[in-house]
Amino acid sequence: MAPVRLRHPKGVSTIQIPLDQEDYTVQDLLQEIYKATEILPSRQSLKTGYPPRPLTLVPELPLSSLDLKSGEQLIVQEDAPSSSRGTESAAAATSSARAVARSPPRSATRPAAPPAPAPASREPAQSSSSKKEFVEVDGGYLVHRVVPDDNSCLFSSLALIFEQSMTKAQQLRKTVAEGIKGDPITYDEGILGMPPPKYIETISKPSSWGGAIELAILASHYHTEIASIDVETGRIDKFSPNENSGPASGNRALVVYSGIHYDALSFSPMEEAPDEWHQTLFPIKDGSDESDSILVAAKKLADSLRAKKAFTNTATFDLRCEQCGQGLKGEKGARAHAEATGHTRFGEY
């Protein structure tokens, strides 16, 4: 454990964090800061160095993404609560920014800008009967099962895996809502970033994205580990069932994440086998990830998608406000601009 010193509105505190622990995330750090400062993770603004530089906080990334050192000093500030208009604008900004990330650049509606390479856009969503990308593995193929790009991709992917039908996606949203209601100690405002009733209302809507919280709840519901492979980095994030949810099945489900989209992975005995022949759960084997042929194949598939630029970094992609022309950096920049101005229309450049 390494000490990190916090300067915050209530004074000075020191927390201990595991800088070398690979599965320790930025979200874990924000939770430790919350315990010391009582500033909600969703409102924390961190700076370090001299002159102080702001840190880009992506909760799902490992702590190493912040490049902190033992004895580092962090300046912790609380973002002012937004007005109702600002909150609505920020939410719209987030939705707009993510929609831009999923869509080709809209040059006809954007102010003139210097020429720049167009970002790689993912191929249109394929049906389960379309040509699938795959990686050969012992006895068959690990197949990339592309689900619709409709804001329910996480739920569609896991419905395909656990219920063998993407039509059960809304059912999984209800399962998440019930999981939050049933465990108010774990899923409090500090974890959710908003009051639990508001979070439940939001995640129940088909237009709301799912992420780490939903993966953790569904892993517990199905008593099955869910491994999410990040296309951009090749990192594998594992979400294990809660010990209080009952005995674990000893199985693992696999999804692949592009930065804005989740898809399912499944095993097929042949390249174009019918969907009902696919295996969607895999036994967890003892030993390292490198000795598990299915995980090795999953990383190879992510490598293949990365080579095709089939990912989007929503923290760093360039945006321009279509209402005032200001250049912005990533979803966070769009959200801050929306809160300050009420503008909600953005284009990529």
Is 144 annotated in the active site? Answer: no
Cβ-based neighbours of 213, under 8 Å, separated by 6 or more: 176, 187, 191, 192
Neighbouring CB atoms inside 10 A of 205's CB total: 11
The span from the CA of 330 to the CA of 267, in Å, is 35
**Residue of 8, 221, 337, 343 marked catalytic:** 343
Q: Give whole-number Cα distances, 75 to 6, 12, 46, 81, 249, in Å.
A: 6, 10, 6, 19, 43
Nearest Cα to Cα of residue 14 among 26, 4, 29: 4
Is 261 annotated in the active site? Answer: yes
Q: How far apart are the first and last CA of the chain?
A: 42
Cβ-based neighbours of 201, under 8 Å, separated by 6 or more: none
Neighbouring CB atoms inside 10 A of 15's CB total: 17
The crossing angle, in degrees rounded to 10, of helices 169-182 and 153-162 is 100
The span from the CA of 144 to the CA of 162, in Å, is 16
**Residue of 261, 278, 292, 321 marked catalytic:** 261
Is 153 annotated in the active site? Answer: yes
80 CB burial (10 A radius; 0-12, 13-18, 19+): exposed
**Residue of 8, 149, 153, 337 marked catalytic:** 153
Is 321 annotated in the active site? Answer: no
Neighbouring CB atoms inside 10 A of 170's CB total: 15
**Residue of 150, 183, 289, 318 marked catalytic:** 150
Active site residues: 150, 153, 261, 343
